[in-house]
Amino acid sequence: MKLTRKAVLSRAKATELGSVRKLNCWGSRLTDISICHELPNVEVITFSVNNISDLEPVSQCQHLTELYLRKNRIASLAELFHLKKLPHLRILWLSENPCCGPDLHRYRMTVLRNLPNLQKLDNQLVTEEELSHALLEGEEITAPPAKLDLDNCCQNTTMESSVTDSTAESENDLMNFSLEETNKIRQQLGMKPVPRDKFSSFSPREVDGNRKNRNILNAILLLLEELDLEGLEVVYQTSGNKLQALQKKELHEER
C-alpha cells in the first residue's frame, strides 16, 4: 500500500506537503512511504503497525524529532543508516520489528551507538551510562542495507498476497489484545477494569455481527498507547460526553 499525497494532506489536515508538521498513519497497511521525500518540515511521524521495510525516504525529513515505527517489517538494523542523517531526532520507537532480534540488549546498544542524540528509545529514557556502553557494545552502521532487485512480475505477483497478509496481521494484532493490557488502559481513562470471567464477552472473538465494533474498540485501545496526557484527556472528555448522550437517549426511550 502506497502512502499518497492526498492521504498525507487528509491525515495532517494540511493544504500542502511543505506545511505538514505531524503525520499519523497508524495501522494503514503501508509498504511505500516514498512521499516522505516531499515532507521537509514534518516533525512527528507515526507509522506504527504497518508493513514498512525501507526507511530511506525518512532521511529527507530533516526537522523530524519523533518517529514511531513499532510493529513493521524492518528486517535489518542497517536501516538505521538512514536515520543517522536526522540531526533533530530525539524519540524513536522501533520495537517489535524483525531487526530487533532475540538479543534486545545488543539491539538497544546498536541503536544508541548510531543515534547517540536519542532521548527516548522504545518508550524508555536513554541514560548517559547506556550511551557509554553503546560505544563499546553496539555495532556501528556505516552503510545502507543492500536492496533486493526484484523483477516487476514478482512484485506484481506478491502485491495482492501482501495486502491480504497485512490485513490478516492487522486483525490478529487487534484480536490478541490481552486482559491485562486492556485493563491498564481502562484504568488510565478512569474506567472500571473488565473482570476475568467476563473478558471472553469483551473480546472480539464473537459472532460476525459484532466483530467490526469490537475491532474498532481494540484499535482505539491500541492507539491510546501512543497518546500523551493531553491526548488522553481529549479522549476522556469526548467519550464522557458521548456516554452521557447515550444514557440520556436510553432514558428517553424507556419513558
The number of angstroms, rounded, from the C-alpha of 201 to the middle of its chain's C-alpha atoms is: 27
**What size, in residues, is the chain?**
255
- Confidence tier at 241 by pLDDT (50, 70, 90): confident
What integer pLDDT is reported at residue 198 of this predicted model? 54
Residue 16 phi/psi, 5° resolution? -150, 150
What integer pLDDT is reported at residue 176 of this predicted model? 45
Grid coordinates of 238: 469526548
The predicted model gives 223-248 an average pLDDT of 67
The predicted model gives 210-235 an average pLDDT of 60
- Confidence tier at 234 by pLDDT (50, 70, 90): low
Q: Is the pLDDT of residue 116 over 80?
A: yes
What integer pLDDT is reported at residue 146 of this predicted model? 82
Q: Is the pLDDT of residue 153 over 70?
A: no
What integer pLDDT is reported at residue 154 of this predicted model? 42
What integer pLDDT is reported at residue 187 of this predicted model? 58
- For residues 116 and 114, give the distance between their C-alpha atoms in angstroms, rounded to a whole number: 6
Which of the two residues, 162 and 79, has the higher pLDDT score? 79
- Confidence tier at 182 by pLDDT (50, 70, 90): low
Q: Is the pLDDT of residue 43 over 60?
A: yes
pTM value is 0.61
- Confidence tier at 136 by pLDDT (50, 70, 90): very high
Residue 72's nearest CA partner among 44, 104, 49, 95 is 49
The predicted model gives 211-221 an average pLDDT of 57
C-beta of residue 26 within 8 angstroms of C-beta of residue 52: no
What integer pLDDT is reported at residue 245 of this predicted model? 73
Strand-pairing partners, residue 22, are: 44
- For residues 219 and 216, give the distance between their C-alpha atoms in angstroms, rounded to a whole number: 5
Q: What is the pLDDT of residues 65-102, one digit of tens each?
A: 999 999 999 999 999 999 999 999 999 999 999 999 99
What integer pLDDT is reported at residue 172 of this predicted model? 46
Residue 224 phi/psi, 5° resolution? -60, -25
- Please provide the DSSP assignment of the chain as one string: -BPPHHHHHHHHT-SSGGG--EEE-TTS---B-GGGGG-TT--EEE--SS-----GGGGG-TT--EEE--SS----GGGHHHHTT-TT--EEE--SSGGG-S-HHHHHHHHHHH-TT-SEETTEE--HHHHHHHHHHSPPP-SPPPPP---HHHHHHHHHHHHHHHHHHHHHHHHT--HHHHHHHHHHTTPPPPPGGGHHHHSS-S-HHHHHHHHHHHHHHHHHTT--HHHHHHHHHHHHHHHHHHHHHHHHHH-
- For residues 68 and 47, give the distance between their C-alpha atoms in angstroms, rounded to a whole number: 6
Lowest mean pLDDT among 8-17, 201-210, 223-232: 201-210
What integer pLDDT is reported at residue 24 of this predicted model? 96
